[in-house]
Amino acid sequence: MAERIYLNFIWHMHQPFYWNAEENLFDFPWVRTHTTKDYCFMAKILKQFPAVKMTFNFSPSLIRQFTLYLEGKEDKVMQLAKKKAQDLTPEEKKSVLERFFLAPSVKQTENWPRFLELKNKAGEGVATFDTQDFLDLQIIYQLLWFDPLTIEENRRLKQLVVQGKNFEEQDKEVLWEATKQSFRTVEPLYRELMEKEQIEIATSPFYHPILPLLIDSKVGAQSNPGLTLPEENFSYPEDAVAQIRRALDFTREFWGKAALGMWPSEGAVSEEALSIMVDQSLSWSASGEEVLYRSLAKEIQRDGEGLIQSPEILYSPYAFSGKTGKIGLFFRDRFLSDLIGFEYQYWDSKEAAQDLIEKIRKIKLSLPDEGQFVVTIILDGENAWEYYPNNGLYFLTELYQTIAESPDLVPITPSQLNEQISSFPELSQVVPGSWIFGLLDTWIGHPQKNQAWNSLARVRKEWEKEKERVASVSPGVVEQIWDLLYQAEGSDWFWWLGEDNPSSEKLAFQNHFSYLVQEVWKKMGKKEEIKVF
């Protein structure tokens, strides 16, 4: 039995790059809504427990959008909400009813009878809504996306929440000032925690691409033999290098400190991807447990409680050697991470936190006396909380407080762990895969996903031929094309193609990917149109 166990919590903060340069606004509001509801919130809770150390992995595509909002850029929902309700056109009214009921969970809306009333009324059509109905919906839909700590701190915001309906146009000023304040707060809040060494800031490849597929899309069939691959092979390892290098440069500039670790997009790794990380001086990375077990040619076995058998396999940190050095590897416990992400939302918050602690202690009891072990829990830091009571405040507070009071549970960041343990056992091979069942199928293999890869490969190949000509004619366009290409390589567009991840916004994501590919094509000076789908 181990006397103590390290806890390695990594909260991944990411949103796709929603910016639409052609329209000069964001296609989706989710960076804004998660900023007002989650990004500041997560840091504020942790700050109350100085002994609890954790890692926050910010994708540069998210941070870049923070900066655009701070410059005054807006999203489509924001524009619709800002317009006076009495001045909304018939088309805008239709858009409000289409967009302002998206995404809020039952937990978010259960204490908003006016919102539920309007949602039911919307089914009867635009004509049933009067100006007050539209005004109330414009304001309530934004209020739903503020976290409980921000509401408690902001007297005027709290007054609107208590009022709940019958708003006036000037009430919107409170929303937008509170929104600006949230964006202004993110960087200094996390920087403070970083300087106190309570948190480590890590990063992901800039626009969140699946690195193994950028290096060579054929690796999808290596991950899953028999997978149907795109007709056009995509193989640009230099793009993988650029996505990592740009991420590290951007992160250093934004935070004032270099990132030492990287959660690769969707935990997707391969030996080639890890070797690039080594070359870029990263000291640690992470992936899903399935990648570890497939690399070791072992089966994952769990007992009736979901706890792993032979726990020393999963809870050991590892190392992988590239040509220029080594990189530390941590592997995500799927069961524990998914309990937080998908299951504990249905529990009493205190009981859920205590159940997680109890399971970690059982893991500790099952480990050998010798050795130092770490339980790695990795999940999105923003997407689960709207399904919890009070945005997860009760659950996270109970969890952090219990950890802080438990000497046998040692919260630590990966870089701190690298300093604590002199050497990690080495993996001789790493099978390509991701945190989704150890495979890459979520982003390649389906006819629609393959069609997207074919289009991207065609444009990328054409750019390879045309870049010198474009540079000689329009040098200022070259960096724009690279940036658009890297955006199009992002994982999120491929995630939503096909039937495996249902969403009411699937077509909008498909259209955004098409826009990126077509913009590259146009900026190269091509006269004929390119068909993406």
Per-residue model confidence (pLDDT) at position 2: 73
56 pairs with which residues across the strands? 11, 201
% of the chain with per-residue pLDDT over 70: 100
Find the distance separating the first CA and the last CA of the chain, reported in whole Å. 56
Q: Average pLDDT over the chain, rounded to whole?
A: 96
Q: Concatenate the DSSP letters of all residues of 125-166 into one string.
A: -GGG--HHHHHHHHHHHHHTTS-HHHHHH-HHHHHHHHH-S-
Give the mean model confidence (pLDDT) for residues 173-186: 98
Locate 477 and state its tokens.
Answer: 């366009």
Q: Does domain 5-66+186-226+234-420 have CATH number 2.10.109.10?
A: no
Q: Concatenate the DSSP letters of all residues of 54-82 into one string.
A: EEEEE-HHHHHHHHHHHTT--BHHHHHHH
Per-residue pLDDT tens digits for 340-371: 999 999 999 999 999 999 999 999 999 998 88
pLDDT greater than 80 at residue 1: no
% of the chain with per-residue pLDDT over 90: 95
Give the mean model confidence (pLDDT) for residues 520-529: 93
Residue 464 neighbours by CB under 8 Å, 6+ apart: none
Per-residue model confidence (pLDDT) at position 103: 82
Pair 11, 55: CB distance under 8 Å? yes
Q: What are the distances in angstroms from CA 334 to CA 290, 339, 438?
A: 9, 8, 11
Entry field: residues in the chain: 533
* Residue 300 identity: I
Give the mean model confidence (pLDDT) for residues 484-505: 95
Per DSSP, 253 falls in state H
Residue 129: band (very low, low, confident or very high) from pLDDT cuts 50, 70, 90: very high
Pair 348, 397: CB distance under 8 Å? no
Sign of CA dihedral 472, 473, 479, 484: negative
pLDDT greater than 70 at residue 295: yes
Parallel/antiparallel/unpaired status of strands 374-380 and 54-58: unpaired
Pair 187, 69: CB distance under 8 Å? no
Per-residue model confidence (pLDDT) at position 527: 87
Per-residue pLDDT tens digits for 370-414: 889 999 999 999 999 999 999 999 999 999 999 999 999 999 999
Question: Which of residues 499 and 401 earns the better pLDDT score?
Answer: 401
Sign of CA dihedral 278, 264, 245, 419: negative
Hey, how many other C-beta atoms are within 10 angstroms of the C-beta on 319?
A: 16
Give the mean model confidence (pLDDT) for residues 193-210: 98
Pair 334, 435: CB distance under 8 Å? yes
Locate 348 and state its tokens.
Answer: 């009493």
What is the SS3 assignment for 6?
strand
Residue 242: band (very low, low, confident or very high) from pLDDT cuts 50, 70, 90: very high
pLDDT greater than 70 at residue 95: yes
pTM of model > 0.95 = yes
Most distant CA pair in the chain: distance in Å? 71
Picking from 376, 380, 391, the residue whose alpha carbon sits closest to that of residue 345 is 391
Sign of CA dihedral 268, 269, 272, 276: positive
Picking from 306, 319, 310, 382, the residue whose alpha carbon sits closest to that of residue 37 is 382
- Please return the burial class of 92, using the count of CB atoms within 10 Å of its CB with bins 0-12, 13-18 and 19+: middle
